[in-house]
Amino acid sequence: MNKILFKLQLSKDVYLMRIEAPLIAEERAAGQFIILQVDDEYGERIPLTIADADVTEGSITIIFQVVGKSTFQLSRMNVGNEIPTLVGPLGKPTHIEKFGTVVCVGGGIGVAPLHPIAQALKNAGNHVITIIGARTKDLIILENEMKAIADEFILCTDDGSYGRKSLVTEPLKEICERNPKPNMVIAIGPPIMMKFCAETTRPYEVFTQVSLNTIMVDGTGMCGGCRVNVGKEVKFVCVDGPEFDGHKVDFDNMIARLNSYKEFEKEMHNCYLEKEIQEKEAAR
């Protein structure tokens, strides 16, 4: 069950894994996610977007960044290892149709969930403009894959180490100023990036869809930990989302909620790393 079939390090802290999961591969659609645990007694449940799926092989692809203890442990697992808990596909699939011109904006690891959506939009006959960005060159992932889909392709880094030196919002603004303006924007990346993409497009009234990755426990609507304010409503990301109208999402509240356990997480990760170092030293 859930055997790791393939593993590749994409950048310093970013890994790609193909995992055996035939039922999920069969059912999943662009925009959906899975939840996994690296330990089914004491592990935490982490939501990760499905980046790709292969029905023939019966596998799904995930791309994740090491940010804490659980993702660190996951990054240490190898081909042949089994992931004890893997459940999905969760969330509502992305609504795909021919909208016209769609700008797909991906920041950092957010390019992973963006890729299948861009592909589906392209297949549906849209003119796809992609903007991908990261802090620095080493953190750019799936450049070739995104380029292959895009009718127009823009790459930027914050520090100018690769591509255009700018935030993704700069080219996004330029595209919004075109005549005709794009029909839709899809932005996936760090919360702060999605917030500013939404702010960028707001004056141009271009519908901007964002994909939220909030704290979750069960991922099936049961805990409500993932709730966000969307307009005047409270929505659960796991069953109502993960995609919402970026102009309506209360990002500040969402970011505060994401940081609920930051200190705990840091401590867990540090304790774990220290323990590992000690064990290695003891082994020597």
List of residues contacting another protein (CB under 8 A)? 23-24, 27, 37, 39-45, 69-70, 84-90, 217-218, 220-225, 227-229, 234, 239, 250, 252-253, 256-257, 259-261, 264-265, 268
Q: Which is nearer to another protein, 55 or 148 (CB)?
A: 55
Report the nearest approach of another protein to the CB of residue 261 (Å). 4
A 10 A CB-CB count for 172 gives: 27
Half-sphere exposure of 80 (CA within 13 A, CB side): 0
Q: Which is nearer to another protein, 146 or 215 (CB)?
A: 215
One-letter amino acid of 198? A
Report the nearest approach of another protein to the CB of residue 171 (Å). 32
Q: Which is nearer to another protein, 123 or 259 (CB)?
A: 259
Report the nearest approach of another protein to the CB of residue 89 (Å). 6
Q: Which is nearer to another protein, 125 or 221 (CB)?
A: 221
Q: Which is nearer to another protein, 8 or 259 (CB)?
A: 259
Report the nearest approach of another protein to the CB of residue 173 (Å). 29
Report the nearest approach of another protein to the CB of residue 52 (Å). 18
Nearest to 176 by CA among 154, 205, 134: 205
Dihedral angle, C-alpha 133, 136, 142, 146, nearest 10 °: 30
